[in-house]
Amino acid sequence: MTAQDRSATSSSQPRRGVLIAFEGGDGAGKSTQIARLTRWLAAHGREFVVTREPGGTELGERVREVLLHGGAVSARAEALLFAADRAHHVDTVIRPALEAGQDVITDRFMDSSIAYQGAGRALGADEVKDLSLWATGGLLPDLTVLLDVAVDVGAARRTGHPDRLEAEVGGFHERVRAHFLALAQAEPARYLVVDASLPSAQIGQVIADRLVATGWFGSGT
Ligand code: TYD
């Protein structure tokens, strides 16, 4: 969808909401920035939904348990399960909210599959992207905020027992990080890359400045 489509309004067709995805390695601080963004959106009078992948639906929470805290899952099965979670999430939560004019903020979306399964697991980024696009019916975020964090810094920030993906070693997380950055570099208009080691308030300001610049939220206050 173009910015022109988004701003087109008519009495019978509500303005579509904006889809913002947060991505990044483990320990990048996505939750903190999502909480800040919800306050910003509320201050701008927006209605919004905050959700996450994997999870975000009842089915998704069950898939999440299997993917993150269950036993072995083969690489292809893992990619398909993340895609199944996403398909259901888009059909039952994200698309209905956008069509009702609500903004949607999602903690992870298709780029996590491309980076973790495509690059991390070396399944092939193009194949995993196609799988994800099929799952979402072609829906892409309007903006993806990539909180970029060095792998050792992210790992040090983590608390608790590592989940199945966090526990990966042998260059896995380096490949994930490099691929996230490559995705952002390829499409700068659809991405905002922020250094996740900056103070939280500064990161929040960079994100707010970018959103103001889009013009999606009115006059830019
Ligand atoms: P989560 O607890 O949400 O981690 P974080 O707080 O870092 O977001 O766990 C999600 C994990 O699942 C994370 O390690 C990334 C991984 N993941 C994939 O491998 N592929 C995907 O498509 C998604 C959505 C997540």
Query: Of 58, 66, 50, 65, whose CA–CA distance to 17 is shortest?
Result: 50
User: Is residue 114 within 8 Å of residue 128, measured between CB atoms?
Assistant: yes
Residue to mutate (ligand 1; options 30, 112, 128; most atoms within 8 A of CB): 112
pLDDT for residue 218: 74
pLDDT for residue 74: 98
Residues 6+ apart with CB under 8 A from 181: 146, 148, 193
Q: What's the distance, Cα to Cα, between the start and end of the chain in Å?
A: 24
User: Residue 26: CB within 6 Å of ligand 1?
Assistant: yes
pLDDT for residue 110: 98
pLDDT for residue 211: 96
Q: What is the pTM assigned to this prediction?
A: 0.93
Q: Do the domain assignments include residue 1?
A: no
User: Residue 54: CB within 6 Å of ligand 1?
Assistant: yes
Rounded to the nearest whole angstrom, what is the distance from the C-alpha of residue 216 to the centroid of ligand 1? Answer: 28
From edge to edge, which strands make up the β-sheet containing 48-52? 48-52, 103-107, 19-24, 143-148, 191-195
pLDDT for residue 8: 41
Mean pLDDT, each 10-residue run in order, the chain (221 residues): 43 73 94 98 96 98 97 97 98 97 98 98 98 98 97 90 92 97 98 97 98 83 50
Domain that holds residue 67: 22-214
Rounded to the nearest whole angstrom, what is the distance from the C-alpha of residue 54 to the centroid of ligand 1? Answer: 7
CATH number, position 179 = 3.40.50.300
Q: Do the domain assignments include residue 166?
A: yes
Residues 6+ apart with CB under 8 A from 26: 154, 155, 158, 165, 166, 173
Q: What interhelical angle do 30-43 and 200-214 show, nearest 10?
A: 50
The SS3 assignment for 189 reads helix
Q: Do the domain assignments include residue 153?
A: yes
User: Residue 180: CB within 6 Å of ligand 1?
Assistant: no
Name the domain count of the chain. Answer: 1
Q: Do the domain assignments include residue 5?
A: no
Q: Do the domain assignments include residue 15?
A: no
Q: Do the domain assignments include residue 38?
A: yes
Q: Do the domain assignments include residue 9?
A: no
Residue to mutate (ligand 1; options 80, 108, 117; most atoms within 8 A of CB): 108
pLDDT for residue 219: 60
The SS3 assignment for 63 reads helix
Q: Do the domain assignments include residue 221?
A: no
Q: Which amino acid is at 21?
A: A
